[in-house]
Structure 1
Amino acid sequence: LILHIGTHKTGSTALQHFLSANGEELSEYGFYYASPAGEFNLNSIANAILLDRQDKFKYFLLEKLRKAEQNGAHTIIASSENLYAMARYLTRFNAEKTSAMVLAKERILIERLRAAVPAHVECHVLCYVR
């Protein structure tokens, strides 16, 4: 699994559109782009991590792993901006007042994400920053 965490304004949306539009060509090289049906990125599924629903994220990945294996793929690519600075998104809804509170929440969210990736999956995180 290559988990692309695109920070805003680093070309993530362009990359996601490219991966989504070129799924068939990528599969010829053993890559499978994982996104929900009718969507070009993983943002809606990534939001499950924020809402303490990592089971939804995990089941999505397991389903995509099965599909990738059926297609002969050796690598799954998933991309979302919502996996970057996750606590910042939550602070819009909650009342964390200090940086320490936000960082503590970020650690919890990162652990949720880690726990949502099935243990048998080798995961590489790719994050572009600006």
Structure 2
Amino acid sequence: MLILHIGSPKTGTTSLQQFLNLNEDRLREGGINYMRAARSHIAHNPLPIAVTQRRDEALLRAILDEYRSDPDATHVVSSEIMFRILVAQRFHEVFPADLRAETKVICYIRRQDHYAEAIYKQRAKNGLVKVDRQAFLAAQMPKLRYSPLLASYA
């Protein structure tokens, strides 16, 4: 089985990835493989980036090879960059059907108003908000519709 953890942002993804990374050897002893293929540091961010840029062939091959090298393990890939509609749509196109059939998608979500508030606060703290709150919220509205994104992974 492949577990595809797709985030979402502001739901503890980094903490989860740090745990998986720090406990990689112990998890592997228990049959859980935090995949090394397509992983940079603690997350598999190169994979969704390559998928959206249509340069995913080598990374997908590496994931397939690692997956097939231990078919009885539960393999885990984690990146909150996968919580984007374009990435979800492209994954459906490029992931081999046999691997999709063995894949479970896990996604933690926040209530939309709490999510928008957390994103706004983070960007304001980092000096990245250049507009008022209403304009910011209007720009975020498409991202707050979770159903189309999640349906693309189904």
TM-score by length of 1: 0.71
Q: Over the residues paired in the alignment, what is the CA RMSD in angstroms?
A: 2.0
Alignment of 1:33-72 (within 5 A): 33-35=34-36, 36=38, 39-67=41-69, 69=70
Runs of 4+ in 1 over 6 A off after TM superposition: none
Q: How many residues align?
A: 106
TM-score by length of 2: 0.61
Deviation string 1:95-123 (CA, Å, 9 cap, x unpaired) is xxxxxxxxxxx3xx423202333322200
Please state which structure has a larger fraction of its residues in helix.
2
Unaligned runs of 5+ in 1: 87-105
Q: Name the CA distance, whole Å, in 2 between partners of 1:54 and 1:111.
A: 14
- How many percent of aligned residue pairs carry the same amino acid? 34
Partner of 1:124, secondary structure, is strand
Partner of 1:82, secondary structure, is helix
Deviation string 1:73-111 (CA, Å, 9 cap, x unpaired) is 52100000111125xxxxxxxxxxxxxxxxxxx3xx423
Amino acid in structure 2 at the alignment position of 1:43: N
Decide which structure has the larger Cα Rg and report it: 2
Given the superposition, is the C-alpha separation of residues 113 and 38 from structure 1 closer, same or farther in structure 2, using an over 3 Å criterion? closer
Of structures 1 and 2, the one scoring higher in RCO (CA 8 A, sep 6+) is 1
Matched, 1:127 2:107: yes
Please state which structure has a larger fraction of its residues in strand.
1
Deviation string 1:44-92 (CA, Å, 9 cap, x unpaired) is 222111112232342131132144x1xx752100000111125xxxxxx
Given that 1:62 and 1:118 are in contact with CA atoms closer than 8 Å, whether structure 2 keeps it comes out as no
